[in-house]
Amino acid sequence: MKHTLTFLATLLAVLAFLPAAHAAEDKLVLTGSSTVAPLALEIGKRFEAANPGVRVDVQTGGSSRGVADAMNGLADIGLVSRSLKPVEAKTLVAHTIALDGVALIVHAGNPVRQLDDAQIKAIYTGRIRDWRGAGGPDRPITVVSKAEGRSTLELFLHYTGLKNSQVRAQAVIGDNQQGIKTVAGNPGAIGYVSIGAAEYAVEHGIPIRLLPMAGVAATTDAVQRGRFPLTRPLNLVTHGAPSPLAARFIAFAQSPAVRDLIEAQYFVPPPR
């Protein structure tokens, strides 16, 4: 009898942990890029609907967080809106789900229609401080840049050949929406954000305008054609091979079943 009670007590103790373990197996945690997060959230909702009982938790924090969390096992999938660096690619695997571009935006009321690369560098290093120096009105320029850890900052710095220490910004922002809101609310501001996010904002009446870069219009069509100079992959990254559930989610995120979600976010489905 004593042995039977001991066995039952042990069995009950083991069973008490089973729901939690099962719940963990049916949950995915995705963290990182604020550019990828809204798309991942919509894909996650559709994946949950197709897989009752599965939960997809999406958190932002920048591409650097996505890399670190995937590397350290704090997330099943990292959200990274750039290519992996060589050192990261030694342990992480990137799964591209869409393409995006990064473009400069100004207030819709700003008459300046284009800037060459030299003017962009001069504005961001503080050598041009008024729009008159770029063919615009007599109005101070408010330089808006991205915070450390944001892939849009890295892409912009790579394109301009600048170091972050050289940038003279009056406003340092985090995600794309914050950048769009800052420029829309300041007629003298200039910033750089995801083309997809900016096109969506323009479509919904937000007073901003995208500027061409290197003579190429900042559009998702230019990104799709491979013509826009600041183009980047939007990646789901995993530490080595993904878990079975993460692998299913990644396959779903790369399938035709979510093409409409990618295009609704003004991103470009990658070539297959």
Q: What is the pLDDT along the chain (272 residues), one digit of tens a residue?
A: 544 444 444 333 333 333 333 334 699 999 999 889 999 999 999 999 999 999 999 999 989 999 999 999 999 999 999 999 999 999 999 999 999 999 999 999 999 999 999 999 999 999 999 999 999 999 999 999 998 878 889 889 999 999 999 999 999 998 889 999 999 999 999 999 999 889 989 999 999 999 999 999 999 999 988 899 999 999 999 999 999 999 999 999 999 999 999 998 889 998 76
Domain range 28-98+232-264, CATH architecture = 3-Layer(aba) Sandwich (3.40)
> In sequence order, what are the beta bridge partners of 109?
none
SS3 56: strand
For domain 101-224, the CATH class is alpha beta
DSSP H helices in 76-219 = 117-124, 151-160, 176-184, 195-203
Enumerate the domain spans of the chain: 28-98+232-264, 101-224
Do 101-224 and 28-98+232-264 fall under one CATH topology?
Answer: yes
Q: Are 96 and 82 in contact (CB under 8 A)?
A: no
